């Protein structure tokens, strides 16, 4: 029997995030719940303190046969049932009295949901750290190229000049907004699930809430007003936030990959031996980091949709909907981990070809400054007439393959209102960057303020 397909894990995943959701971590999350439950119930006087002391050391995932638990789970319907049986059996070998207190008053969903919460919390901490690194990389790009002219593109066509720093600042701006959402995500998801058979904790009598409070404290989780086993909005909100993150990373990757096309050549992923090559074309330098982020951006929305669809589970414990979450949320995390890792590498090592940016602005021979001329003429003769006049000149420039400036200088109506020196100034891309530099500075100021807050909290 062969193992699962993992050949693509190094491409699409991240080792640290993957480790948060591997087989052992899945079991450990539930075992941490079981150990915490025993400690809480001992403090509440429900089980002997000696039993809790024995249960804790047995709650280590490496002590258990993962393959055997997986096989048993296929018959029992979840992994918590065979794990609790294995934990009980292990304790029974040395301490029968402790063994009978395992999983006291809990149900499988308590262990599974809370275990997943603990896994998500660990993964979120890693993602937030990496996200901060991405913000810093984007801020470096924005500052370094704040005044570097580049053509802006709308509908994939040349529009008007911007700066590459502004483009990087737009990436940074949305990255910071989603970074705030990621920071809030832990508070959303780090909530204890503990309700027993159907959410009443009836098996613990009048001590159910007291145990829940103690257990939440043991696991450093918030205690909700009531068990949330039938309410899946917390996991859905988390999935949605990760979906936003995937979109942000995909947007950065999309722009960079388009700018790296041979015909454009304004940026390139850093080249190194064995990266981005082709099996048949030695000259190829493919944007493989962008490909990973774009693939994740394609896949994650559908996984988020699965999480959203699972909200309609039946009554107190759903049949099928809950089970649909088990692989889906970890897969979202894994894909985000790989996308983020690759995006950071692309951004931090991006090769920016400013000379090519300047050359591309000139491809249209001044047409991208038509708006600048129109606005200047409009002050003299009105906007509608100015627009029509510059539009005719643009059509003539295209038809005769002439620079726009040459056509405009030959038009006596234009030169009657705009002297040649003024006209030449209007056709200078560096003079028509608008608020690019100011917008970039504003975003960088926001970034610096966030950095200062983090440093004060550290």
Distance between CA atoms of residues 113 and 194, nearest Å: 9
The helix (H) or strand (E) run that includes residue 454 is: helix 436-457
Spans of the chain below 70 pLDDT: 1-3, 272-284
CA atoms within 13 A on the CB side of 186: 15
Would you list the DSSP string of 322-364?
A: HHHHHHHHHHHHHHHHHHHHHHHHHHHT-EE-HHHHHHHHGGG
What CATH fold (topology level) applies to the domain 1-106+207-214? Fumarase C; Chain B, domain 1 (1.10.275)
Q: pLDDT of 298-318, one tens digit each?
A: 999 999 999 999 999 999 999
Long-range contacts of 73-82 (CB under 8 A, 24+ apart): 77/323, 78/108, 78/112, 78/323, 79/26, 79/27, 79/30, 79/112, 80/30, 80/108, 80/109, 80/111, 80/112, 80/115, 81/108
User: pLDDT per residue over 56-79, tens digit each?
Assistant: 999 999 999 999 999 999 999 999
- DSSP code at position 265: -
- pTM, entire model: 0.92
Per-residue pLDDT at 383: 93
Closest CA to 315 of 233, 237, 229, 236: 229
Extract the tokens encoding 301: 């929305």
What is the rounded CA–CA span in Å between residue 22 and residue 24?
6
Q: What's the pLDDT at 278?
A: 43
Do 1-106+207-214 and 367-426 come out as alike in CATH topology?
Answer: no
Task: Tell me which residue of 221, 23, 213, 226 sits closest to 117, measured CA to CA.
Answer: 221
C-alpha of 457 from chain center:
23
pLDDT value at position 1? 45
CATH of domain 367-426: 1.10.40.30
User: What is the model's pLDDT at position 189?
Assistant: 95
The number of helix segments (H) and strand segments (E) in the chain equals 20, 4
HSE-up (13 A, CA, CB side) for residue 421:
0
Could you give the CA distance from residue 292 to residue 278 in angstroms, rounded to a whole number? 16
Domain boundaries, the chain: 1-106+207-214, 367-426
pLDDT for 12: 81
Look up residue 5 and give its DSSP letter. -
Torsion of CA 70, 78, 221, 24, to 10 degrees: 0
| CA 417 distance to own-chain centroid | 53
Per DSSP, the residues of 143-208 read: HHTTT-EEEEEETTEEEEEEEHHHHHHHHHHHHHHHHHHHHHHHHHH-B----TTTTS-GGGGGGH
Q: Which residues does the annotation mark as catalytic?
A: 278, 317
Cα 352-243-323 angle, rounded to 5 deg = 145
């Amino acid at each position: 029997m062969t193992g699962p397909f993992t050949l693509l894990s190094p491409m699409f995943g991240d080792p640290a995030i993957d480790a948060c959701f591997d087989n052992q971590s899945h079991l450990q999350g539930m075992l941490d719940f079981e150990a915490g439950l025993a400690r809480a119930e001992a403090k509440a006087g429900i089980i002997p303190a000696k039993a809790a002391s024995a249960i804790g050391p047995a709650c280590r995932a490496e002590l258990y046969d993962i393959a055997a638990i997986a096989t048993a789970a296929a018959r029992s319907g979840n992994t918590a049932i065979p794990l609790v049986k294995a934990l009980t059996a292990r304790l029974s070998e040395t301490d029968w009295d402790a063994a009978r207190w395992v999983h006291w008053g809990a149900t499988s969903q308590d262990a599974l949901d809370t275990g997943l919460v603990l896994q998500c919390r660990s993964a979120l901490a890693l993602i937030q750290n990496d996200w901060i690194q991405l913000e810093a990389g984007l801020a470096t790009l924005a500052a370094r190229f704040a005044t570097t002219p580049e053509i802006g593109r709308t509908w994939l066509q040349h529009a008007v000049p911007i700066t590459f720093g502004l483009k990087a600042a737009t990436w940074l701006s949305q990255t910071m907004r989603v970074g705030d959402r990621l920071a809030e995500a832990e508070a959303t998801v780090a909530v204890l699930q503990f309700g027993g058979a159907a959410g009443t904790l009836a098996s613990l009598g009048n001590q159910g809430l007291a145990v829940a409070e103690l257990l939440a404290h043991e696991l450093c989780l918030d205690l909700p007003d009531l068990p949330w086993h039938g309410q899946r909005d917390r996991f859905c909100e988390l999935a949605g936030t990760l979906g936003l993150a995937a979109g942000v990373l995909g947007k950065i990757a999309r722009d960079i990959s388009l700018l790296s096309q041979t015909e454009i050549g304004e940026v390139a992923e850093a080249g190194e031996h064995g990266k981005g090559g082709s099996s048949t074309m030695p000259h190829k330098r493919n944007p493989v980091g962008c490909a990973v982020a774009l693939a994740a951006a394609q896949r994650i929305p559908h996984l988020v949709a699965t999480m959203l669809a699972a909200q309609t589970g039946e009554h107190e414990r759903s049949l099928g909907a809950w089970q649909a979450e088990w692989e889906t949320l970890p897969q979202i995390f894994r894909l985000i981990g790989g996308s983020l890792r690759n995006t950071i590498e692309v951004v931090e090592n991006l090769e920016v070809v400013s000379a090519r940016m300047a050359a591309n602005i000139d491809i249209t021979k001044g047409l991208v400054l038509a708006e600048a001329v129109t606005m200047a003429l409009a002050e003299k003769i009105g906007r509608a007439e100015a627009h029509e006049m510059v539009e005719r000149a643009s059509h003539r420039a295209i038809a005769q393959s002439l620079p726009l400036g040459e056509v405009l200088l030959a038009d006596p109506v234009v030169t009657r209102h705009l002297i040649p020196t003024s006209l030449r100034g209007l056709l200078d891309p560096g003079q028509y960057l608008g608020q690019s530099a100011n917008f970039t500075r504003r975003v960088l100021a926001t970034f610096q303020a966030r950095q200062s807050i983090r440093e004060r909290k550290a």
